Chain A
Amino acid sequence: MKWYGTVLALALAAGGAQAADPTGTRRVAAGDGAALSDWDFRAGRLEAAGDLRLRLVREDELLPGRVHERLAQFYRGIPVWGGELVRQRSATATLSVFGTFYEGIELDVTPTLTAADAARSVAARGLTLPLDKQPELVVLPREAGYALAWRLRANTDPDAGFDARMIFLDARDGAVLLEYSDLKHQSAVGTGTGVLADSKKMSVLSGGGGFLTDDQLRPPRLRTFDMKGNLTRTLQFLNGQVALGQSDLAVDPDNVWSDGAVVDAHAYAGYTYDYLYKRFGRRGLDDQNGRILSLVHPVNRADIFGYSDSVVSTFYLNAFYYGDGIMVYGEGLPSNLTAGGQRFNYWSGALDVVSHELGHGVTDFTSALIYYGESGALNESFSDILAAGTEFFHQEAGSGPLKADWLLAEDTVTPGGIRSMQNPAAFGDPDHYSIRFTGAEDNNGVHINSSISNHAFYLAIEGGRNRVSGLSVTGVGSANRDLIERVFFRAYTALLAPSSDFSAARAATLQSARDLYGANSNAERAVREAWNAVGVQ
């Protein structure tokens, strides 16, 4: 009768062995029973064959008598990236085996590319390979199978934003198989409610028992400081008398952000960076991932009656780009106050406002259009163009809050905003060069005459008839807005000089259109018709 039991045991043992021998990636979590016996046995066998090698042995700090052995996976003498089993042992037995083991590797482990070739390839990208971190040949598991690769950890230029890049180059042809940042940031993603009660994500820093508005996911140093209504400290910072540190960053205990001014300043700065990168391939204001610092709450709304008109105008009723990547967003007015019949909310609550201010940063680092007269109007216009482009890139076209349209600041200055690119005359701004502002006010009308270039940009995309000249323009259409955005961006950042005037802007945009899309292209035609319509020759 014992015979029957033996048969049963053998049969079940055969079944267990079959189940424990699949191919492919195996994540091992064997804590007891047959799986532990199996993996303990396999680990021993693989160790004897050299496919697992003891990398580290550590005594358990919490349980005396326990030892943890780390067994790194190798394939024909080459380490398998990420392949490792961790075996917990007591004095008498194996207690657990955890880790990942890659099976089914079939590779020629002779590299075509030498280690020196791999190092040169990385150096050619401007990365620095630390002397103590030479290329290592590894087997890289990928979805498409396994690859023989050189693994390098190289540093970027600190001036462009320091990063340590982990790079895997194909050991046959040098192609980049995998690359990621190896700096161990404490990145966190939360959610926030903006000024207009909309939800958005917040890329922040985790630390100090809370979360801080320091974006760890985008390449530049993108930080938002909460000045907590301390105008003195704000001015001291702008005057270079104090530096802002981590304690000045906006903070939230649970990463569910509710200060709309903070949320929108932080998120929209990121949106603008994304638009510049995705639409134009530009890496931030200086194209080198330079810092982007946003300051919110420079004053308190409740303190408005204690300040001079100048302070109210600058820190309540305005937002401005200070220079060197610093934006300051005005506080707006208490809900019971209006100015010119309009209510003013937090200035960071409008995507086009944030993008407009950052646009000044781009201009500063490129054409540096002098902020006076026609060049100043072009400077302002470029920021408006960038603002409209960012809105249409991130928001649905339409009217009302959080919609992309041709109004400026309409989400924070209500009703109506402060300018219209579609119909400048609605705000008393010129829509034709012949009626441009020629007075001394507003630096010779930088915020007024910008509407001439703004309207040309609008007409080149949407088409239409100019109110003054009566000339009609066939635009490229809203579906092709990116064509005109690139034309103007390239012209205003790469071709214009600091003292350029409207005529130069016309010539530069036509040149840009020809360069990008060819002579007599649809884009060039639309741009020419648009400038003709607004009377700029």
Chain B
Amino acid sequence: MSAFRTLLRKETVQLLRSKSALATATLLPSLLLLFAPLSLLATLVDVDQKGWVSVLPANFNPPRGLVGMERDSSVIVRFMLASLVSMGGLVVPAVAASYTMVSERESRTLELLAALPVTIRQVLTAKLGVILAMSTAVTSAMLALDVAVVLRLQMASVGYALSLFPLLVAALLYSTASALLISLLARDFRTANQMGGALLGPTTVVAVWVLAFGPPGAPAVLILAAIFLAAAALALYVALRVVTFERLLR
């Protein structure tokens, strides 16, 4: 356990010294989890109900998850907030995780760690663990602020607000697990970024689809969280059992 703690300490020190990783870890979530939702709230909170309805077509038939949006702007607030939480969870750790793992292989510093009495699994777990912990801390704090504002404005129930936290954690887990798989498959950081981008698009579409067409309220959020967790488990299984860490040392 001491060896693993030593690795965790090393990764923490390196992450805190990396300006680009810190910028990614604070700027992206600030944009997705603070600026975007709070701007949306500021816009919608003063919208007149008639004014809101007037922008929609007369025969507008909203999808299942957005029923009532023509009367109640808080429906769209909840939909947007859950979408942004998903995106924040998907984007924030992915770049840092891919970068730290691929750069360790590209710069051959992984050889230094492979020479020590630790397994490659311990090395990568320490790396991903630190990134996941930092991403969770930063994004959860921002989500807590959003939730406080939404509850204060009575735009969501407490149950719905709380369901956003498991969604965020599940999205972060999926993002980290898929970053691990991509890092094992990609030859370099550029390829890893391209693969990450290619995966993000369809994942975001699925997330928005579940929120829009799933059952209204917290159940859709929890279903999406379950989907992210299942995808994370699948990505981990493929990374550990099919691709394997040996790929990093070939």
Answer yes or no: do A and B interact: no
